[in-house]
Structure 1
């Protein structure tokens, strides 16, 4: 049986012109991705994104605008029977960012038996590229935001 797995992510560039990513150890593999996660049944995409950022980063966010929705077929990195549909939003902090971040990729301990460890990390805008993230859809988004620029991210769509 095939499944559709809907993922919701937020793109944040801070006042220091750094992009927030999440370094993760999941099921024995390392990934760098944008913060966010899976849509739960009965949940809207915006509520999902707020919940994920609160759970993972203890961060309240304001959702600025829709950035991108997957427009191609993408199989899950974890199984061969799930199609991934990812929706990305530009976000900004509602309060100062307080989550503890790491400086170097994957610079966190992995407890014995753990299969899901996460740590946020800031990447300077001038060092950020599609190579900064692991997942194919994130790479599309990284290319788009680098091409458009920081100012475009926070311009109003009105």
Structure 2
């Protein structure tokens, strides 16, 4: 079935001093996937508000949004409901603690649905994340890291 709905997703890209990026393993229903932290825009919510809410819900932390990184430039159907996915990515950092403290903090986070982990940008591959838009973003991160932008 083809949906005529849009599904807006907002993700935060947090890179620590060791040039690692935060990603997470999640499961939803019977599907297991690896993605960047963030999630879906709710009706009546602004994009930045959504990103901050998602990080607060998932990581119990306040973030500072540093800059826009990428917005989807191609059609992508949702893996879950067939809606058209529009994903927006921002570079972020924790606002309540240093990056080093945050790196240690994420290793302590545990819940039934999500496992947070740090992936080396030097060793990262597009296939380290599951969804096509995330893979595009991983490719851009790899390029920028290789050119010394981070």
Normalising TM by the smaller chain, what interval?
A: 0.7 to 0.9
TM-score scaled to structure 2, two decimals? 0.86
Structure 1 stretches lacking a partner, 5+ long: 103-107, 111-116, 154-158
Matches within 5 A, 1:19-98: 19-80=21-82, 82-94=83-95, 95=97, 96-97=101-102, 98=105
SS of structure 1 residue aligned to 2:52: helix
**TM-score normalised by L of structure 1:** 0.82
Change (3 A) 1:76 1:46: same
User: How far does residue 152 in structure 1 lie from its aligned partner after superposition?
Assistant: 2.6
Query: 4+ residue stretches of structure 1 with deviation over 2 A?
Result: 98-102, 150-153
Q: Distance in 1 between matches of 2:52 and 2:125?
A: 25
If each structure's helix is expressed as a fraction of its own residues, which one has the higher value? 2
CA RMSD, Structure 1 to Structure 2 (Å): 1.9
* Count of residue correspondences: 141
1:144 matched to 2:111? no
Q: Which runs of 5+ in 2 are unaligned?
A: none
